[in-house]
Amino acid sequence: MGASKVVSASDAIANFVPDGAFLTVGGMHLHNNPMALIRETIRQGKRVKTLLTSPCGAMNADLLIGAGLVEEIITSYVGFEHLGLAPNFRRQAEQGGIRIFECDEPYITHGLYAGAGGLPFIPLPKGLEYSDIPKVNTRSYTFVDNPFTGERVLAGAPLMPEVAFIHAQISDAAGNAVLLGAQFLDRLMALASKHVILQVERIVPTSEISEHPMGTTIPAFLVDAVVEVRGGCHPTSSHAFYSYDEEHLREYLNKARDESGVEEYLTQYVHQTTENAYQQSMAERISALSFQEG
């Protein structure tokens, strides 16, 4: 099985997240956001030089931005699906408080693939060159000559984060992880990143992991730390375990309309509580949202 990598959320953040890191956060929209790791990052006041989301970031990005910890972000969208836009992201964008490297979804996918493969750059799918995004984000996009045809093609820079926060439903103590729902870009994030902190609902024996050979999408050798937090995605969902908490998300969005409300939310749910205490306070809500499979 390998040596145990199980640690607390506080130790994982303290030991593997340097101040000013290039951080990528897994999950997409309101699903599989590694919120326990996000909250602990805020408690420790770890600054994030660059934040990379999946093509559709949500609370995993907006809460870090609201805490004033993010200097720049690589993303194509940050929002809350049918509940509306991300208030902290939008406010900081309007006020110039955060530097935004706007990207299209294919670039984030292919950029992580290039980072995972150690490629110096990667040609992007045909048609993206007609977008205006390469004009406003010259750090991520450039044009190169195809060495075989001489054709001018759009290329993207590799994405190689220092740290990835990834949520999986189950893993063994060594970090062999199974994603029981959508993978999104989480596997690519793990492959492209120097360090991976894995948040899981349950730690199980390796024999149980072996029952999911096709689902063991993150092998232990990629993982630096395993953090078991049941309900750790709350208020977003954890596929096969529980749905997102729309009532809590609406509370967050209502408070995050202005900076004083953001501070009120952070004080109540982050700064003045531990992650264990947060989970205990939300246990009944998460249980009510749970699926039988979880």
Q: What is the mean pLDDT of residues 254-265?
A: 97
The two tokens of residue 127 are 């048609």
Please report where in the chains the tokens 């048609």 appear, as a residue.
127
Q: Is residue 59 part of a domain?
A: no
Region 32-39: mean pLDDT is 98
Q: What is the biggest distance separating any 2 CA atoms in the chain, rounded to whole angstroms?
A: 62
How many domains does the structure of the chain reveal?
Answer: 1
Q: Which amino acid is at 3?
A: A
- Give yes or no for residue 294 having a pLDDT over 60: no
Length of the chain: 294
Give the pLDDT mean for 262-268.
98
Q: How confident is the model at residue 293 (pLDDT cuts 50, 70, 90)?
A: low
Which of 112-129 are b and which e, b meaning 16 or more Cβ less than 10 Å from the residue's Cβ?
bbbbbeeeeebebeeebe
In the Cβ-directed half-sphere of 200, how many Cα atoms lie within 13 Å?
28
* Mean pLDDT confidence for 163-186: 96
Q: pLDDT over 70 for what percent of the chain? A: 99
Q: List the structure tokens of 26.
A: 């897994």
Residue 152's SS3 state is strand
Helix crossing, 246-255 with 259-266: angle to 10°? 130
pLDDT above 90 for 287: yes
Question: Measured between alpha carbons, how far is 249 from 115 in angstroms, rounded to an integer?
Answer: 33
Q: What tens digit of pLDDT does each residue of 84-103 get?
A: 999 999 999 999 999 999 99
Would you state the structure tokens that stand for residue 161, as one six-digit string?
């984060």
Confidence at 4, pLDDT banded by 50, 70, 90:
very high
In tens, the pLDDT along 10-35 reads: 999 999 999 999 999 999 999 999 99
Residue 226 near residue 200, CB atoms below 8 Å: yes
| Pairwise CA distance, residues 28 & 168, whole Å | 13
What residues pair up with 240 in beta bridges, in sequence order? Answer: none
Q: Is residue 234 part of a domain?
A: yes
Which pLDDT score is estimated for 1? 62
Q: Is residue 129 in some structural domain?
A: no
Among residues of the chain, what percentage have pLDDT more than 90?
A: 96
Question: What pLDDT, in 10s, does the model give residues 42-58?
Answer: 999 999 999 999 999 99
Residue 265 falls inside a structural domain: yes
211-220, 241-250, 268-277: which has the minimum mean pLDDT? Answer: 211-220
pLDDT, tens digit, for every residue of 114-158?
Answer: 999 999 999 999 999 999 999 999 999 999 999 999 999 999 999
274 within some domain: yes
Is residue 70 a part of any domain in this protein?
no
Q: Quote the pLDDT of residue 292.
A: 63
Boundaries of domain holding 240:
9-47+162-288
Considering the domain boundaries, does residue 259 fall inside one?
A: yes
Residue 80 lies in a domain: no
**Residues 252, 265: contact at Cβ < 8 Å?**
yes
Residue type, 52: L
**pLDDT at residue 2 above 90?**
no
CATH number, domain with residue 198: 3.40.1080.10
The pLDDT value recorded for residue 238 is 98
CA-closest candidate to residue 14, choices 189, 163, 221:
163
- Rounded to an integer, the average pLDDT of 224-247 is 98
